[in-house]
Structure 1
């Protein structure tokens, strides 16, 4: 009989390297390693050879960067999603794409299961498995970190490192590694290790080497740089007049943002599984895009449409963070978001300076701003009669007066 096939989400780090070998031995299975290229750059070097040397029968390293930018990052940014007021969801939005491709490979290869290296304490396990449930409920999911057998064998990193050495698995991890990272086209995250102390200051001079995508704001150029972003129907389609696809937009904005120390945040967030965790993030290009998109909306988006969409930002961000990208409620919200963006078209000018993204002008052929109406001078269009405000205020004040009268009568 042919051996069972398992598709493993493989990064080449200590955990997934050990898991690859462990799965092969424990399940007597054929392991197909899958790595999604979503912007990890040099982290992908040598992965295929390493996976094969560790025991994988086949390796997929798929460049998904354009799909990531076009079908995941851009739709999410149209929604204005921001988790707990700070986090631009860089890790969260990548997981459904990775899991989607995993189940596609599993079906193509005739695999009965997919596996991941997410721990039982984190959000990623939920994101991977909810995506699998939505797209391929017939495929089994193996989560070694939730296996008692696996945890008994590997109670800590020291045991994993020893296992790797015993099986000649090349890993660069050491027991003293101070933090873990996760990088993609949108951001890089840092967590665990020294960062588990929320009083620890990663921005201190002595910790500058931790950051990857950006210079420290104090080390950024002393002269500001202006950048213009062109939008069509809610998506950025050009930077400084140069037409770019979504991937090109993200790469260009990452370069500009990193140069000027833009997009660093340090937060304690609420995980879906119930605990709080501290994360440090660099999102240089995403921060510029987020700011520009909001400014474009301010000129072109109907007031009540904007307010309705804004009332759903927290829900949308929560759905992405918690792993419900392919859930029907997120798809329904996306339909509303897409409709809201049809006139978000024009050009935004920004000034980048030492960690700041500063608005410096906005224009649009479908602008809803009319200076003749908004002017404090005489209104040449006579579209607004200031006397009309008297009745408007009286009507809106009526319920307040009635409520106040009730409160006064209670005191008598």
Structure 2
């Protein structure tokens, strides 16, 4: 891992934004590459999807819409321990997601005047589960349970076709779909899946959705950007990233293991350590060198850790470490310091925050009860992670009776006149003129 030394430097927020490590391929570059793919699906539907499956997944002649019986029967091949773990994940996530559903609130403005705010779910959601270097049944569950908790009535799932599974999505994705009660599943991957959700594909009875959610690589994130506005999106959740704020009191073996855990996702995954203790940083690097050769995806991990998106950042103190983290806006932030709560108070920008030496990011990936679909690439500075709230819209319902409306007539007429919109005021006055006549 390279080292970025920020010690003894007075840096503005703008300067920090340019100095924090990022992947070489940004979403802007990817957008130009996926825009034609999205347009092709919008115009040519099934034919375009089959072309893309042949080009990117090496699969052809398969059923784009997975038969419902294939989803249900997939569970026959699910190992008992995996099934039990997936059910435990579902149960924990339902608890965590329920807390994200706001209650209906009634605000009394005055006598006879009230506003009711309710949270209404969208009607239909397209859930995406990646299927590149690993299967992600956990991502299926993160998406599905959040939408179901919000009350979404119609869910569709897409995941890339697998050549070694007869053109079906990965078996583990099907297991998760079955356990969540989803039977509308499509063997479609990448930008094509996002486009199919946004525009619909009549030939395979895929109706357009209202919101598209789910993680993926930078091209999936770029496709979301392209269709945003046609449909809602959760966030541009691209390649994973972890930032660890640690001082000399942290356990270097824990920190090294956590940086490696996210690096095994993808060669473009970002692992960043921010510390005020140079000696500790050396210990972490030593632990990484010791552990990487023994991990299953050693080549992938090494590529991620030595890429431009990963680094050790040295700072003068933890207050500056917090500033660096907020500028970075990490998807996953770990805090392992002598006073974790003090550091936490300064954090404003992060997708999810893991506090203490016994709260690794991998816990959040599976069984913490939190959601692991989170904003990446710095978008955590303005976007939130996936949750039940992603699928809910606040709606205000206004009730005024005659007396309450009458109390507003004169000031409303004044405001309408000031804005040059007299008919607005007349719409109120007409009610009382009619009653008088």
TM-score of the pair, normalised by structure 2: 0.28
TM-score of the pair, normalised by structure 1: 0.29
Which one scores higher on RCO, CA 8 angstroms, separation ≥ 6? 2
